[in-house]
Chain A
Amino acid sequence: MTTALVYSALVFALFVLRAIYVIIFPPRKRFSSGQTCRLAIFLGSGGHTSEMLQMLQGLNFERYEPRLYLVSQGDILSAEKAAEFESKSSFPPAFTIVTIPRARKVLQPLWTTPWTTLISLVSCLQEVSFGLVVRGKPFADLLLLNGPGTCVPLFIAVFINRFLGLPSPRVVYVESFTRVKKLSLSAHLLRPFVDCFVVQWPGLHRGGRRDRYSDWLI
């Protein structure tokens, strides 16, 4: 009985240590010019999508390709905007669009959120982790997030990969230009864990190791 307890405490401690280790020392692959970086982009609908597509306009798409757009289920507008954006780009289109179930729908009661978040997480895992097995190639080298809710399960899926030592993308979170004094909920949740956390107003900059303040990116 006591040995079982000791063993489970030990296993638990190892889990926690492993989690802390991957938070502090996330795996990092460095690229050199000439290489291409596979980019995954979460489009969070409405203003999130507009801001994200605007930021992408400045990228060298020969360097960041192919691109994978993740949109929430039912968000047809974001999928259309992504396709339109790619077709207008001066670089050859090299992209895919996939949908994932929402973590929380607009006006959904808060108490049902854990359940829908779980469904969303399974679908994110399918893209981020199982896809690795099925397609034999990692999900992406870089994942861009800018809220809202559904990007949390997406990040958890990435974190599970890291925990298991599987290939995982570097994660950059950009807080919206509209957030001046207070972070959004998803930014609050993800800030301690993502690899690079960008804010666009000085009042939000806390100066942590991975925190970054930038002039307006839109």
Chain B
Amino acid sequence: MSSDSKCVFVTVGSTKFDALVAAVLSNDVFESLKKTGFDRLVIQCGNSKVPLSPRIWNDEILLDTPINGISTSIWRFKKSLKDNYAAADLVIGHAGSGTIIEVLRMGRKLIAVPNETLLHNHQAELAEALDTSGYLIASPVSDLAEAIQQAMSKDFERFPEYDGSKFSRILDEEMGFI
């Protein structure tokens, strides 16, 4: 990949998120991506419906072709998404805490989109709280195009590194070691 190429990576996690995949492939979002200089879009779609008539390459890769000037690949699952996060200038993901923590610790810009059809709506609470603290942007599916503009001009707060001494201290105090 050339150094001036700009990539956005979209992940739905281990299940599916039809509305997110549909929104990412909408004209609004494509316009927004082009305006902010993106020329590559990679979507991990899980078991979501893909609203194009995808040309099936094999079981894994659903599509790998330019759409409106943005080179687009869509595939279902991969064991680790670390390489994709690393290669991305922006990550758009479901609001699962595992994804949030991993992406933010890698220092990537993140738009977290809570899945409103899930019962676990405390995920939306988490995304909003982290948005308030400036670590990421929480956005509903419907405002994604706008959120992409915001994300590219915003200075995010750096998410704190893991500090194992905090839990260790709690237990040591609790048991009388210290």
A residues in contact (CB < 8 Å) with B: 29-33, 37, 47, 50-51, 54-60, 63-64, 141-142, 170, 172, 174, 176-182, 184, 195-196, 198, 201, 212, 214-218
Contacts and interface: CB of A to CB of B under 8 A. Distances in A.
B34 interface: no
Contacts of A51: 97
A31 B177 contact: yes
B167 A37 contact: no
Nearest to B126: A178
Contacts of B126: 177-178, 180
Among A59, A64, A170, A218: residue with most chain B CB under 10 A: A218
A180 B122 contact: yes
A50 B125 contact: no
Nearest to B120: A178
Contact of B176 (A32, A50, A176, A184): A32
Contact of A215 (B96, B166, B168, B174): B166
B4 interface: no
B171 interface: yes
Interface in B138-178: 160, 162-168, 170-172, 174-177
B170 A212 contact: yes
B170 A196 contact: yes
14 contacts: A29-B176, A31-B175, A33-B177, A37-B175, A55-B164, A57-B162, A57-B164, A58-B167, A59-B171, A179-B122, A179-B125, A195-B174, A196-B170, A196-B174
A6 B129 CA distance: 56
B108 to A, nearest CB: 17
A59 B125 contact: no
Among B96, B126, B175, B176: residue with most chain A CB under 10 A: B175
Contact of A142 (B101, B162, B174): B174
Contact of B129 (A55, A64, A180): A180
A217 B164 CA distance: 7
Interface of B: 96-98, 101, 122-123, 125-126, 128-129, 160, 162-168, 170-172, 174-177
A31 B97 CA distance: 35
Per CB-CB distance, the 5 closest pairs between chain A and chain B, nearest first, are: A58-B164, A30-B176, A180-B125, A55-B167, A58-B168
A64 B122 contact: no
Contacts of B123: 178
A64 to B, nearest CB: 7
B98 A50 contact: yes
A209 to B, nearest CB: 13
A125 to B, nearest CB: 24
A59 B167 CA distance: 8
B77 to A, nearest CB: 15
B18 to A, nearest CB: 20
B170 A198 contact: yes
B88 to A, nearest CB: 22
Contacts of B96: 47
B174 A172 contact: yes
A58 B167 CA distance: 7
Contacts of B122: 178-182, 184
Nearest to B96: A47
Contacts of A198: 170
B168 A178 contact: no
Nearest to A179: B122
B97 A178 contact: yes
Given A182-B122, A182-B125, A216-B160, A63 B177 contact: yes
A212 B165 CA distance: 16
Given A54-B162, A182-B125, A59 B168 contact: yes
